[in-house]
């Protein structure tokens, strides 16, 4: 009878773990694929930033628009806030006083270096993120979102502002770098 009980327990554990394993693998795949996309996004964004001459960094399509440089640094600000603050729980930077991720008086190269560093920190954070927490829910500007959704929103946000930068290049007679797939 005791052996039957052990066999039943072992069978139950094996059966339950067979259901859990695919879910765990899917979450691991999500993070792996997300990081690949983020790396490709970094490469393309930096190529766009490097290709644009520094004298075009102040260009705005309209007076109320962000400049090319402001779009670039806003991407860094958003990466920091989405990962470190919203998902990681660190107190958010004060937009009015913190100049680390603002244009401020930074040169083109200083901005590119800061964006590259911010990608490093974001990628490190996501690489070490506990995948069991992807289903945790957050208030995202009044909407109830999972942390998985927050990562997807961050990717969209990067693409949105980079797209504005590409339009700015065209408006200045510059040819944007060839699009890099899967980002």
Task: Walk along the chain (183 residues) and give the pLDDT tens digit of each residue.
Answer: 666 676 666 565 665 665 554 444 455 899 999 999 999 999 999 999 999 999 999 999 999 999 999 999 999 999 999 999 999 999 999 888 989 999 999 999 999 999 999 999 999 999 999 999 999 999 999 999 999 999 999 999 999 999 999 999 999 999 999 987 665
Helix/strand/coil for 176: coil
| pLDDT in the model for residue 160 | 97
d(CA 135, CA 149): 9
d(CA 145, CA 87): 11
Domains plus CATH for the chain? 26-171 (1.20.120.450)
- 26: part of which helix (H) or strand (E)? helix 2-51
**How deeply is 11 buried, as exposed, middle or buried, from its count of CB atoms within 10 A (0-12, 13-18, 19+)?**
exposed
Task: Identify which of 158, 79, 161, 74 has the alpha carbon closest to the alpha carbon of residue 118.
Answer: 79
| pLDDT in the model for residue 1 | 62
In the numeric block, the tokens 């244009």 are attached to 103
| pLDDT in the model for residue 147 | 96
| pLDDT in the model for residue 180 | 76
């Amino acid at each position: 009878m005791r052996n039957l009980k052990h066999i039943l327990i072992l069978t139950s554990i094996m059966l339950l773990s067979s259901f859990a394993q695919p879910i765990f693998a899917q979450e691991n795949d999500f993070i792996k694929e997300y990081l690949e996309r983020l790396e490709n996004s970094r490469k393309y964004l930096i190529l766009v930033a490097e290709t644009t001459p520094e004298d075009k960094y102040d260009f705005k399509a309209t007076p109320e628009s962000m400049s090319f440089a402001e779009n670039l640094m806003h991407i860094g600000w958003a990466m920091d806030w989405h990962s470190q603050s919203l998902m990681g729980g660190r107190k958010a930077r004060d937009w009015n006083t913190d100049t680390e991720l603002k244009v401020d008086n930074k040169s083109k190269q200083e901005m590119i270096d800061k964006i590259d560093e911010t990608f490093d920190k974001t990628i490190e954070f996501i690489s070490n993120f506990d995948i069991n927490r992807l289903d945790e829910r957050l208030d995202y500007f009044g909407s109830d979102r999972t942390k998985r959704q927050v990562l997807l929103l961050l990717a969209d946000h990067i693409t949105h502002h980079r797209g504005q930068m590409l339009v700015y290049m065209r408006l200045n007679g510059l040819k944007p770098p060839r699009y890099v797939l899967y980002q």
